[in-house]
Structure 1
Amino acid sequence: MSTITKKKSNKLFKFSRALLVIIGGIITAYGLEAVLIPNSVSDGGVTGLSIVGSQFGLPLGLLIAVLNIPFVFLGYKQIGKSFAIYSVIGIASLAVSTSLMHQVPTIIDGDTLLVTVVGGIIIGFGMGLALRNGGALDGIDMLAVLLSRKLPFGTSDLILFLNMFIFIVVSTVFGLQGAILSAIAYYIASKVIHIVEEGLSGSKTFNIITDHPELMVETIRDRLGRGATYKLAQGGYTQEQFKEITCVINRLEESKMKEIIREIDPRAFVAIYDVSEVKGGNFQKKNIH
């Protein structure tokens, strides 16, 4: 593959990711404006706080954009520039879409069970689509990932813990029933995110066999701040010896890792495993800025 062809391919790949993140923001906005908010049901995270603030006359889109600013900066410092850029694209898409869809007709009215299920599925699909392509629509995920490195708790545990306080705030505006319905909708959304994005919490192990192992490890270290290990392996048929790379990352870095592999060696053999928990060793992200 020539250098020019490779650059064009990478640009197309990045553009398609950005487009899918934007679509994820639009889908999430539709779930909020056409299902949840008209039925006094909120979402979790920063979006949930924004919905509460909008009940006092403040523009929802503006609140989503402003309240997410510190979390985007946090994502930039702790996860990387690429993740921060895609998150800005996704959050901007969500903020603009909620403003444009404010008068969209409500597709479900009054049926609380159907509201929570349909609303949770729609926003879960939108958020999962954004996460799958390297961006986040809500800053609570970024905060949970950072805290999980400092505290002896998993990412999903911290997301649940942080949202408990948010739903308490929601109850002051939408009442206890509204807060309970919001929690149910958020739980359903989290399960849909897990399906779409393949892993709401936890880490990923990448096993990589490539013709450029040293360059691959160096690039992973420079761009992700992650270390990697070599394991000497031998092909069962060719008897050829090679270095197999093993690297453990968090779920938000998966898209960036795939981009690195695709850029360095599109023909690399890659096996990806879900990791429910990582402890000890040197699984501490280095500062890449």
Structure 2
Amino acid sequence: MQKPLLTGKFFIRIILVIIGALIFAVGLELFLVPNQVMDGGIVGISIMASHILGVPSGVFIFTINLPFLYLGYKQIGKTFAITTAVGITVLSVATIYLHQLEPFTTDVLLATVFGGIILGVGVGIVIRFGGSLDGTEILAILFTKRLPFSVGEIIMYVNLLIFTAAGFVFTWEQAMYSVIAYYIAAKMIDIVVEGLNESKSVHIISDHADIIGQAIIDRLGRGVTYLNGQGAYTGDDKKVIFTVVTRIEEAKLKSIVQELDPNAFMSISNAAEVSGGRFKKKDIH
């Protein structure tokens, strides 16, 4: 029987995702967009569409992300879908409101640097608490199971196309500033989530190892290996679960283990390199 979603921890998670989305919106609308500097992914596509059609970018951010929200719900889980839906909704509304305000600076270099930092902090908070603000990451996670590329590589290729398009929509100079802002944001995300961009190797020791292992297979779609262990103090034989997950799946994995065995011991560490199986290439760049 699954635990209800409306718990204190889940409520705190939603609040933090909202804060992250608001921070992201500030960086976008009060720094980058007024200076025609953009982010990657669906947000970048939305900014270009807004510039061409004269419709607020928040409208595009919300509508384009809808199909990816559905994919996230089907492939990753209800909790992820709800937190992501909240984050995207808040981001969309906030960008429409903030677009009416005066920017903090009209110096393009300052806007690029500080906008990138603020964007990275906002996205990092959202990712750290189990959500996402951009459907391209969800799409990349699904594609990486079928293609010999990591999540990071697929996102990089998609953004390369988006920034190239930005050169035609704005100017090549603005497109280059956009690449700088995106790079700074990516580094800030790494700092905020403490290397969450890497794959995670996980060891779990539990008296309900079989149940947890099957749940990981069924609900995350990740392979599981059982290792034989022995408690040094008690001498009891223990079954140890070993698995590797992506950064966006870590919060869901913790939720599964907490739900099935609150007393389970779990060790999570960054994987410097993962190859073979579902992970075809490095997940570290």
Alignment partner of 2:64 out of 29, 51, 67:
67
Q: Indicate if the aligned counterparts of 1:155 and 1:201 stay in contact, CA closer than 8 A.
A: no
Q: Which residue of 2 aligns with 1:131?
A: 127
Alignment partner of 1:193 out of 177, 189, 195:
189
The correspondence of residues 33-182 of structure 1 with structure 2, limited to 5 A, is 33-56=29-52, 57-110=54-107, 112-182=108-178
Aligned Cα RMSD in Å? Answer: 2.2
Q: Which residue of 2 aligns with 1:258?
A: 254
Q: TM-score, normalised by structure 1?
A: 0.89
Percent identity, please. 47
Q: Does 1:222 align with 2:218?
A: yes
Give the length in aligned residue pairs. Answer: 279
C-alpha distance in structure 2 between counterparts of 1:236 and 1:29, whole Å? 52
Q: Indicate if the aligned counterparts of 1:233 and 1:244 stay in contact, CA closer than 8 A.
A: yes
- How far does residue 90 in structure 1 lie from its aligned partner after superposition? 1.0
Q: Does 1:278 align with 2:274?
A: yes
For residues 171-219 of structure 1, give each alpha carbon's deviation from its aligned partner in whole angstroms, at most 9, with x where no partner exists: 1222011000001100111111122223454421110112321222232
C-alpha distance in structure 1 between counterparts of 2:5 and 2:248, whole Å? 23
Q: Where do 5+ consecutive residues of structure 1 fail to align?
A: 285-289
In the superposition, relative to structure 1, how do residues 166 and 282 fare at CA in structure 2: closer, same or farther (>3 Å)? closer
Q: Indicate if the aligned counterparts of 2:201 and 2:269 stay in contact, CA closer than 8 A.
A: yes
In the superposition, relative to structure 1, how do residues 208 and 10 fare at CA in structure 2: closer, same or farther (>3 Å)? farther
Q: Indicate if the aligned counterparts of 1:154 and 1:201 stay in contact, CA closer than 8 A.
A: no
Q: TM-score, normalised by structure 2?
A: 0.90
C-alpha distance in structure 1 between counterparts of 2:95 and 2:168, whole Å? 23
Q: Where do 5+ consecutive residues of structure 2 fail to align?
A: 281-285
For residues 219-273 of structure 1, give each alpha carbon's deviation from its aligned partner in whole angstroms, at most 9, with x where no partner exists: 2233223332211111223323211111212211110111112222223211112
C-alpha distance in structure 2 between counterparts of 1:15 and 1:270, whole Å? 23
The residue type paired with residue 46 of structure 1 is: I
- How far does residue 113 in structure 1 lie from its aligned partner after superposition? 2.7
- How far does residue 28 in structure 1 lie from its aligned partner after superposition? 0.5
C-alpha distance in structure 2 between counterparts of 1:221 and 1:104, whole Å? 48
The residue type paired with residue 260 of structure 1 is: I
Q: Which runs of 4+ in 1 moved over 6 A?
A: none
- Secondary structure in 2 matching 1:149: coil
C-alpha distance in structure 2 between counterparts of 1:105 and 1:58, whole Å? 18
- Secondary structure in 2 matching 1:167: helix
C-alpha distance in structure 2 between counterparts of 1:238 and 1:163, whole Å? 53
Q: Indicate if the aligned counterparts of 1:201 and 1:276 stay in contact, CA closer than 8 A.
A: no
C-alpha distance in structure 2 between counterparts of 1:211 and 1:151, whole Å? 36
Q: Which residue of 2 aligns with 1:11?
A: 7
C-alpha distance in structure 1 between counterparts of 2:4 and 2:219, whole Å? 21
- Secondary structure in 1 matching 2:44: helix
- Secondary structure in 2 matching 1:271: strand
For residues 266-289 of structure 1, give each alpha carbon's deviation from its aligned partner in whole angstroms, at most 9, with x where no partner exists: 2321111222443334669xxxxx
In the superposition, relative to structure 1, how do residues 216 and 10 fare at CA in structure 2: closer, same or farther (>3 Å)? farther
Q: Which residue of 2 aligns with 1:287?
A: none
